[in-house]
Chains A and B, each alone.
Chain A
């Protein structure tokens, strides 16, 4: 099974997934990327979005709000600040997250405003995908 990778999704509070995967789609800070086997070792930060894992056991989708991904040859580890299966995302959770991001944006100064505004926009996109 050289063409699968080990995929782990961990958040500070628990280990959400640890499976073999054919491909993993990651919402990287610089844009989405899909990791296949033998991907070049990469570390990327995440923006709020959906992680899509396709493996022998089917497709799983997770919503993440931030964190980073550690892609090494045979294993991909996602360290997410907050993560949950996409099916468990509810409008209330998203509303709470967006409200908090907006508060951060309003409190931000200088160049941080752009980053914070992007967070808000990403979260809104995530909500549209999750609560469709």
Chain B
């Protein structure tokens, strides 16, 4: 499998670089570099959203979750389905309308500079860590395939995505993400057909499961997925995803509200096309090779022992694509947040567009270099912190994003209280060891919402011009 996988990955790398160079020539200003000129259509918007959403751990952990819990593993996606629904019916269109370049910019307009600065610092910190994690994931795969050291592989991968991100910015990221999504979908579907062929097809596989392993067809995974856990997953990610800046900025790059809205709809459909094969791979894998220990070992073990070499190689390509497409988005987010919300606002207020573009590219290189060294020298610390990475951002930001667009009475005092309170509650919950299995993000959502409502009602309403700007329909 190694030779096939190396060929697949080299071809993928060449295609990524070619797209990066091609789009890099189209970058004329910071608007092109940071938000792809706000001209992205529905297919690319869907491709980049989903490719950013699907990281290496998605491709590995979800196969393990379905392998262990059978159909009950489906509840892991409920939160994502709820957040895409919320995006499709309300938030994507509004964020496209009111968003400019970064999420902090929206937060500043809606809640003032203090919350924007607090959010920017959290975003930069969390995204650098999450970039390290994707580098580590990709380098582990490349190292296994090539025999090169993990450090060398980390440098190869980082140089690759840093080149096209620095040159092409969001334009390159959006198009390469769409290619990555195509690789991910093709990879998973080919593996699915291959494994289903070995267990006699979908119907036969389910008949066997029904007679021999009925617990794999249990709606609640035979008690492993109780209602409380399902509600926790739904609230945690249904709300939490609304505060993840690298998802939110995908709404900004769409050419209009309609594209943003419909791309969220298409994302739901594309998720179905991705998670169905992942589930079927896991269930077929369970019949072919039961007893694999450890959720994250299931996918690599199946690819190495059950899948034909070329098919396994495609899956490896898909996992690599998932790593790189998430890493490039995170790198871009860290540099745009620093340049737009820290440099332009506090360091050089009179910077020209050309200067900002130059600084953005330099910051990308610096963040990339820092991330690769951090990934090589502090991998254990990063793995520990990455589990909290999305929660760090989501706990402080999601409630403000949702209330800021949906409740006109929300003011800066409520926003700041909810951001700090939500973040503190999530960290405290982590420190306490997640009592009763409740996710920290859920605690942050509850605490943040209570603080937002109570503090906003106890303090004066936001200025009329802010209400008129964000709720123009009520003005009319």
A and B part of one assembly: no
Chain B: residues with CB nearer than 8 A to chain A? none
